[in-house]
């Protein structure tokens, strides 16, 4: 992984939503919630790894995960992330996501606009 850029990760478990969702605010909120969950799950194995929600441009713009900072990360890390996401989805309730999304009165529409543009 490069210190200068990001390794883009578009997990198959999120594939149907990443490029097609009309509610970009909801998707940015979901990816941000997952980013916190993933960072916590991976922090011991990859302490230098940074996971961010970034803008990807390909036939339009959409949010995805950007990995940065751990040059020793294995090549199968994107697969591991996808497995973790599936586990998060099966182990968490919708209330867990909504509690995250609603706390701190974050305007997810503004967050999505800032990240992705108008």
Model confidence over 67-114: pLDDT tens digits? Answer: 998 777 788 899 999 999 999 999 999 999 999 999 999 999 999 999
**Digit-coded pLDDT (tens) for 9-53:** 999 999 888 777 678 999 999 999 999 999 999 999 999 999 999
Looking at the domain assignment, is residue 2 inside a domain?
Answer: no
Is 28 inside a domain boundary?
A: yes
Domain housing 98: 7-112
User: Which residue is listed with tokens 């941000």?
Assistant: 32
Domain annotation covers residue 50 = yes
Give the 3-state secondary structure of residue 54: strand
Distance CA 23, CA 87 (A): 24
pTM recorded for the entire structure: 0.89
pLDDT recorded at residue 72: 73
Residue whose tokens read 């490069």? 2
Q: Kindly state the tokens that stand for 20.
A: 């097609």
Provide the domain count of the chain: 1
Position 2 scores a pLDDT of: 37
């Amino acid at each position: 992984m490069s210190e200068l850029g990001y390794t883009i990760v578009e997990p198959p478990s999120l594939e149907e939503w990443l490029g097609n969702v009309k509610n970009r605010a909801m998707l940015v909120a979901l990816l941000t919630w997952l980013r916190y969950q993933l960072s916590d799950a991976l922090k011991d194995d990859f302490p230098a790894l940074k996971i961010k929600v970034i803008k990807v441009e390909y036939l339009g713009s959409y949010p995805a995960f950007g990995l940065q900072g751990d040059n020793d990360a294995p090549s199968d890390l994107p697969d591991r992330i996808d497995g973790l996401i599936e586990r998060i989805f099966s182990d968490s309730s919708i209330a867990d996501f909504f509690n995250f999304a609603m706390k701190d009165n974050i305007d997810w529409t503004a967050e999505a606009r800032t990240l992705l543009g108008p």
